[in-house]
Structure 1
Amino acid sequence: MGVKAKKRDLKLNHGDEEEETGRNALPKTQGQAKEHIEQLQRLQEKDPEFFEFLKEHDKELLEFDDEDVDEDADDGKEDAELNENDKNYEPEVSEEEEEKPYKKVITTELVDSWCHSIEENGKLAALRSLMKAFRTACHYGDDNGDDSSIKFSTMSSNVFNKIMLFVLSKMDGILRKFLKLPSSGGKKETIQELMTTKQWKSFNHIVKSYLGNALHILNQMTDTEMISFTLRRLKYSSVFLVAFPSLQRKFIKVALHFWGTGGGALPVTSFLFLRDLCIRLGSDCLDECYKGMYKAYVLNCQFVNATKLQHIQFLGNCVIELFRIDLSIAYQHAFIFIRQLAMILREALNTRTKEAFRKVYEWKYINCLELWTGAVCAYGSEIDFKPLAYPLTQIISGVARLVPTARYFPLRLRCIKMLNRIAASIGTFIPVSMLLLDMLEMKELNRPPTGGVGKAVDLRTILKVSKPTLKTRAFQEACVFSVIEQLADHLSQWSYSASFFELSFAPVVRLRSFAKSTKVQRFQKETRQLIRQVEANSEFTNERRKSICFLPNDPAVSSFLEDKKKLGTSPLSQYVSTLRQRSRQLTDSLSESSVLVGEHGSVFGKSGSDSEDEDTGGREGTSVFSSTWLPGSDSKTKHPEEKKSKKKKRKMEQQDKAAPRDEDVVEDLVLSSDEDDEPLNNSSAESEDDEDVKPVRKQAQKLKAPARGSKKKNRSPANKAKKRKTSR
């Protein structure tokens, strides 16, 4: 008999078994699985050559995993035990064998008896009954069709709450007691050793049912408090996911979604779940969590305003904190992502097209630089992360010099802040002063403001300013004060260095020339004050330098003025502290009247939501699951509160459309006009005329026209009556 004929017969036998199971509509049981494995073993003994041939050419016939059998395959075995041991079960009543079994209604007394049997007597039959009820609760409202394995049909909201609270609160301790594990904690090595025992084979389906059904209801919930409570309780059982890689990937995906888009305390709870999972499982899930969190961070930072800025900073801090678990693996991911940023910048430098410039000068790219700057500042002293400081510094410097025009002053200031942070964290000199002094010499800051006073400009929430804003007095003041603040911060980092006099000589010369050329007294005052502080700091270091006897290349240079540095007594350090206080006050005043810059609002929720996690941590969940919510069709619909809020928003929008436009709105239109269709090349950016302002002026004239006309032609009934009286 040939090999092909044997293979065909084996496939036909296997196909007959599948047809029989298809006709009966019954799942494969563990007995059939064992019979199939024994058949393959007999084949290996009788015809080893044919068995080896199948291994090489058709592995599907040989691969068979007991874990792939559905959890409902044990129902027959469990039902037999339940009918013998559990008195709460009623016998199934059926007229014919082909009819569906009787489905029982779950009551509170039944649930209480199960819970009592599990806690007091540790009965396995009661535990299995409770897990079936938990499965029914999690899948309540789903289209189960003619599934005969479900023994329970309906339940009230009180029963649902009781089952959910008991299972989520107690199941971790119950499983650990049955599996003889520590009451808390554990790592993947413990579960891997447990998986080889007979005890795990008898309980693994219960663990899988608990985690799988909990995952299902997480996808059905819409209330943030319920999701937070469920994730907080599942965190204690996260170590069991070592045995179920498919469930592990699904849990990571769901937690990442809640972390990036959730409101209230849900992002914090989701991050703590992911962090605990990475600590316990190690490298098995670190790669997936690093990639997923970075992707979620990029999706959330495409648009920025004053309120969403806090949410983006929170997400970045979470990513940096997760890197702490394993810096060697984090370095590999950081190197790849920083290299992608470098390739985007190289394309912009080589092609110098409008599309290539936009890929760099957008919030997504800048916020990624902010993220890696924070990571380098946090772990710059570590051996794993310190090599990333140099390429990141080169990228940030290239971005700052890419388009050196006044309209991109906010972006350049952000880049300079990043460079100052990196220099302070790793203790390495970075030439930042030239980038700042070049900004002071641009003609836009030396001309008188033709656009009037203008509104206060929040440089934290914009990357590019419009042409009308460029000519306002508020923008010029914000730029000059920011340049002086960053230059003072840069020089203060080296205010205790023995070479401070040489380092500050060129900046002082250029600051004096700016103070002479500018005609604005406020700028002259700020610049001369900085010059005086730099000169005083030079005298401070030169006096001490006279008494030293070591050479510049001596290692003792690092200990120069080390005691003064800890106290922060240099003139420049004290001056920088006053500048930071002034900047903080200005930021607070701007945040009170913040204006939306991006297209979307904050997804982080209301302020102060981080403290909700501490408040709800001590609860047992009674207030969380006390509502009449049941999973199913109702859970997928939107809450009435959301519907009411949407109706209110629509009414507000209609009122805004119907309300008359005043001159303040016109001023906002003029100040926020920023045409992105113009090229970003250096030559074209400076030689553009004011053509992009013309559409805005036309719009302003249209908005002003009805107001002017309304004064001339006021045809209200009261005015008509007045005219009639005067005519009489």
Structure 2
Amino acid sequence: MAKKLGKKARKFAHKHLQGGAKRSRKLRSQFNRRTRKGPCFPPPPPPPLPNGKGREDDNRLDGDGGSEETRRNDPTMNMNDDVATLANCLEFPEDENELDGDLSDSDGYLSEDLECVYYSDSDDDNVMKECIVQDDLDEQNNEMRLAVKKQKKKLKKLLDKDPKFANFLEKWQLELVNYESKEDSDEQDEMDSVDNGVNSGDKDPPSDKILTSKTISEWCQLVLDEPKAPALRNLLNAFRDACQFGLNSNSLSMQRLQSTEVFYQIISFVLSKADNIFRALLEISDDDKGKLMNQRNGKKWQDIEPLIKSYLRNSLDLISQLTDNQILTYVLTRLRTSAVYFSAYPSTSRRLLKILIRLWASGDQNLSLSSFLMIREVVSLLPDCLDFCLTKTYNAYLSSSKIVDNRNIENIDFILNCLVELYSLDIQKAGERAVISVGQLSAILRQASKTKGKLV
């Protein structure tokens, strides 16, 4: 009986002898035949035949080489292309050449009154925070005292062991005390000079100061008591910072607002009270929009026009960057009363309509309703924007109707009803657009009937 090989011998035989080598070559060939990962390139075209003609049979089978010829010979494919072209033509062409110069001079901050007071909340609202900070400091001081006591004990033991080192410390102790007293006097002189420079120099500009809840509350009360108060400009600048809040973490607006509570405080007050404040400045007591529109060329309007432009532009920035549907619904509900001010600037109204139509077709029920009410208000005050609005809303309806299921059928029905109401504002323009749409639809149905007959 043959003796069984050891472990090392079996391993060597499995790896190097003829059977093992054959098995290894077989495994390597299997791995080499596997497809490689990476981009797949089409195979090279077959070589031409000796007579110079290509392989027509293969081209007919692969679907690529003879696709153009097949498409020309197949009438159903031509009809499908025509139907797709006509379906794309259902959308009315949009004119994107919009003017954006109405509010161009309202960029930046308004000039503020330097006497307007900024308040700090630290004296009233942060007493508990100061107590907590004081407790933390007391704990740190106790820890430092214990550490100093330990170091003193170690130093005393060292001095008892080495008298020469104790004499060395006593020698330099007087010089160290004199040096520290000299440094203290120099620092005191420098602090006095800095204090004198601060007192003699100008104060920080208002735009660099922190906006606290107490400051905003005081400004709001001043504006409610007297709309012509200088605090109105400060409040509109704060509204500008609130509308830019969150866009850039390093921006000045992020540094000015103390908290999100201040953000909501500014937004809610300005949006709810701006219409009444501007009416008071124009000395219009009632809600007659006709009187307000007649004031556009008057001196009173020109005096407060920078304030109105700042308010409108910042409101557009606000609704452009908000993503929460509930906050957007609230903002649009409050902003609807200011539609009459938007009507004074046509290009700005078009930009507003473009944003509103996008929100109207978003699918959220409350947001869509608030957006539509704002759209109808703007179009009724500015008939020149009706064509622009009808084109945008109709194309938005087509985009929403491309996919119909149980989830969006109610939204499509709501959009259709809103579209009918908008088209009813001008029957003549609605009739012209209806004739064009019916003609396009009839062409699609005619082409579809021909395609169905060919397929049958």
Same fold per TM (> 0.5)? yes
Alignment pair present for 1:137 and 2:167: no
Alignment pair present for 1:87 and 2:117: yes
Alignment pair present for 1:684 and 2:455: yes
**TM-score normalised by the chain length of structure 2:** 0.55
Alignment pair present for 1:328 and 2:433: no
CA 1:333–1:199: 2 relative to 1, 3 Å: same
Q: Hey, what's the Cα distance between the residues in 2 that align with 1:121 and 1:101?
A: 21
Alignment pair present for 1:257 and 2:358: yes
1:297 counterpart (388, 391, 397): 397
2:340 counterpart (236, 239, 251): 239
Structure 2 runs not aligned, ≥5 long:
1-100, 121-197
Q: Hey, what's the Cα distance between the residues in 1 that align with 2:280 and 2:315?
A: 20
Q: Hey, what's the Cα distance between the residues in 1 that align with 2:389 and 2:212?
A: 41
Q: Residue 453 of structure 2 aligns to which amino acid in structure 1?
A: N
Q: Residues 433-512 of structure 1: matches in 2 within 5 Å?
A: none
Q: How far apart are residue 176 of structure 1 and its match?
A: 1.3
CA 1:318–1:209: 2 relative to 1, 3 Å: same
Is the contact made by 1:103 and 1:151 (CA closer than 8 Å) also made in structure 2? no
Is the contact made by 1:111 and 1:130 (CA closer than 8 Å) also made in structure 2? yes
Alignment pair present for 1:270 and 2:306: no
In the other structure, the counterpart of 1:205 is: 306
2:215 counterpart (110, 122, 125): 110
CA 1:219–1:297: 2 relative to 1, 3 Å: same
Q: Hey, what's the Cα distance between the residues in 2 that align with 1:200 and 1:224?
A: 34
CA 1:110–1:270: 2 relative to 1, 3 Å: same
Q: Residue 105 of structure 2 aligns to which amino acid in structure 1?
A: V
- Render the CA deviation track for 1:514-567: whole Å, top value 9, x for unaligned: xxxxxxxxxxxxxxxxxxxxxxxxxxxxxxxxxxxxxxxxxxxxxxxxxxxxxx
User: Which has more radius of gyration?
Assistant: 2
Q: Residues 401-412 of structure 1: matches in 2 within 5 Å?
A: 402=449
In the other structure, the counterpart of 2:226 is: 121
Q: Hey, what's the Cα distance between the residues in 2 that align with 1:285 and 1:153?
A: 38
Q: Residues 4-403 of structure 1: matches in 2 within 5 Å?
A: 68-72=104-108, 75=110, 78-79=111-112, 82-84=113-115, 86-88=116-118, 103-143=208-248, 153-184=256-287, 186-187=289-290, 190-281=291-382, 283-345=383-445, 348=447, 357=448, 402=449
SS at the partner of 1:180?
coil
CA 1:329–1:144: 2 relative to 1, 3 Å: farther
- Render the CA deviation track for 1:214-240: whole Å, top value 9, x for unaligned: 111112111111111111111111011
Q: How far apart are residue 101 of structure 1 and its match?
A: 7.8
Q: How far apart are residue 683 of structure 1 and its match?
A: 4.5
Q: Hey, what's the Cα distance between the residues in 1 that align with 2:454 and 2:363?
A: 45
Q: Residue 181 of structure 1 aligns to which amino acid in structure 2?
A: I
Q: How far apart are residue 264 of structure 1 and its match?
A: 3.2
Q: Residue 69 of structure 1 aligns to which amino acid in structure 2?
A: D
Q: How far apart are residue 146 of structure 1 and its match?
A: 8.0
**TM-score normalised by the chain length of structure 1:** 0.35
Q: Taking every aligned residue pair, what percent have the same amino acid on both sides?
A: 31
CA 1:125–1:143: 2 relative to 1, 3 Å: same
SS at the partner of 2:114?
helix
RCO higher in 1 or 2 (8 Å CA, sep ≥ 6)?
A: 2
Q: How far apart are residue 194 of structure 1 and its match?
A: 1.5
Is the contact made by 1:104 and 1:151 (CA closer than 8 Å) also made in structure 2? no
CA 1:105–1:140: 2 relative to 1, 3 Å: same
Q: How far apart are residue 272 of structure 1 and its match?
A: 0.9
Q: Hey, what's the Cα distance between the residues in 2 that align with 1:134 and 1:331?
A: 44
Q: State the aligned residue count.
A: 279
Q: Hey, what's the Cα distance between the residues in 1 that align with 2:206 and 2:410?
A: 56
CA 1:337–1:290: 2 relative to 1, 3 Å: same
Q: How far apart are residue 335 of structure 1 and its match?
A: 2.5
CA 1:227–1:66: 2 relative to 1, 3 Å: closer
Is the contact made by 2:211 and 2:257 (CA closer than 8 Å) also made in structure 1? yes
Q: CA RMSD in A?
A: 3.1
Q: Residue 266 of structure 2 aligns to which amino acid in structure 1?
A: I
In the other structure, the counterpart of 1:461 is: none
- Render the CA deviation track for 1:125-181: whole Å, top value 9, x for unaligned: 11111000010011013349787xx79723211111111111111111111111123
Q: Hey, what's the Cα distance between the residues in 2 that align with 1:303 and 1:254?
A: 23
In the other structure, the counterpart of 1:617 is: none
SS at the partner of 1:265?
helix
Q: Residue 336 of structure 2 aligns to which amino acid in structure 1?
A: K
Q: How far apart are residue 343 of structure 1 and its match?
A: 4.1
Q: How far apart are residue 345 of structure 1 and its match?
A: 4.3
In the other structure, the counterpart of 1:535 is: none
Q: Residue 227 of structure 1 aligns to which amino acid in structure 2?
A: L
Q: Hey, what's the Cα distance between the residues in 2 that align with 1:89 and 1:242?
A: 37
CA 1:161–1:273: 2 relative to 1, 3 Å: same
Q: How far apart are residue 185 of structure 1 and its match?
A: 5.0
Q: Residues 417-436 of structure 1: matches in 2 within 5 Å?
A: none
